[in-house]
């Protein structure tokens, strides 16, 4: 356990008289979550005029507040020397390009070899943050850009940006079917009523909104650009399947393999051999949690998706020539 060199200090404003100490403390130190501030009040690390009080106790106004920020181990996974593709890095955040196949969090069946293990090797101090600073996730077989907090201040700020929908998250997806126009999938999502591993569109689910537009159209497939307005589990995968344009290779929502009539042998091989959802987090943009400046990072489609798109493009070209 590591303490800060000296407590943070502030003065309760006069207009806050009569309000709860925990609510006032959250306004005085907005970089820290309410739950963590409440814990520090209870542990005696947040003092009001030098005295330990209860979170619900009222303030009078004018009191001195002293806050001792305590960094405790929150993540107990072991560091592992797993290579990371770092797109941006400073003392507050990492932005990485996660490869397909890398699990984000340790869990049942994946106790090690995860992104958390890799991050702890890169920066051992991340063990003081929940989930080693990870504030959003990508599915194991989805590739692309993720932001990771390196400090408690950054962690709190990034979670707030995600909650208030201020983070721009743009994906690329190859879907089955030739779309004629983009659109918006606005369908609530929650756990499947019978299969708890899957998610599903449900009337009683949580709000979920995905905007999508055509990036490139092929004979029987489409490369889509998808933008998340919300961030539900499996959101793009569920939404695309719901609008009858499932993502190529999706083992959970994609349904049986569909081969276009007259597909070239190369396309048949490419579609049969694509064993993950063809989904890539292309661009992430957020406000830097300390400087307030915009940070925008992009990662190109990984080689397997680029190869798939190249085969789809060639198949469309040959079909167009044959139709002349």
Separation of alpha carbons 171 and 68, rounded Å: 41
Under a CB-based contact definition with an 8 Å cutoff, are residues 137 and 98 in contact? no
∠ CA 56-57-62, rounded to 5°: 130
Which residue, 35, 77, 42, is CA-closest to 57? 42
CA-CA distances (angstroms) from residue 65 to 41, 55, 153, 219? 11, 13, 19, 66
* Catalytic option among 3, 14, 139, 141: 139
Q: Among this protein's residues, is 139 annotated catalytic?
A: yes
DSSP 57-118: PBP-SS-EEEE--EE-----PPP------EEEE-SSEEEEEEPTT--SS-BTTBSSSSHHHH
* Backbone dihedral region for residue 73 (phi beyond 0: left; psi -120 to 50: alpha; all else: beta): beta
Active site residues: 139
């Amino acid at each position: 356990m590591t303490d800060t060199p000296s407590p943070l200090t502030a003065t309760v404003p006069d207009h806050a008289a009569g309000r709860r100490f925990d609510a006032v403390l959250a306004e005085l130190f907005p970089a820290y979550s309410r739950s963590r501030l409440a814990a520090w009040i209870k542990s005696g690390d947040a003092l009001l005029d030098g005295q330990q009080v209860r979170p619900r106790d009222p303030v009078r106004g004018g009191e001195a507040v002293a806050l001792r920020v305590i960094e405790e181990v929150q993540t107990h996974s072991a560091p592992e020397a797993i290579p990371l593709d770092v797109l941006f890095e400073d003392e507050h955040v990492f932005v990485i390009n996660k490869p397909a196949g890398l699990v984000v969090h340790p869990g049942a069946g994946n106790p090690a070899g995860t992104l958390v293990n890799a991050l702890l090797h890169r920066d051992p101090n991340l063990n003081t943050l929940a989930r080693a600073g990870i504030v959003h996730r990508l599915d194991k077989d989805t590739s692309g850009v993720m932001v990771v907090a390196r400090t408690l201040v950054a962690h709190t700020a990034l979670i707030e940006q995600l909650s208030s929908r201020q983070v721009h998250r743009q994906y690329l997806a190859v879907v089955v079917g030739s779309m004629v126009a983009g659109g918006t999938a606005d369908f609530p999502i929650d756990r499947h009523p019978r299969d708890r591993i899957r998610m599903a569109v449900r009337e009683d689910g949580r709000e979920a909104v995905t905007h999508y537009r055509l990036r490139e159209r092929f004979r029987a497939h489409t490369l889509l650009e998808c933008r998340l307005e919300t961030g539900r589990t499996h959101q793009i995968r569920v939404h695309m399947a719901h609008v009858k344009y499932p993502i190529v290779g999706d083992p959970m929502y994609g349904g049986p393999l569909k081969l276009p009539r007259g597909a070239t042998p190369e396309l048949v091989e490419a579609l049969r051999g694509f064993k993950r959802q063809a989904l890539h987090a292309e661009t992430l943009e957020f406000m830097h949690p300390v400087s307030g400046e915009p940070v925008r990072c992009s990662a190109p489609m990984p080689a397997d998706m680029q190869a798939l798109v190249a085969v789809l493009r060639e198949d469309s070209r040959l079909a167009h020539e044959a139709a002349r």
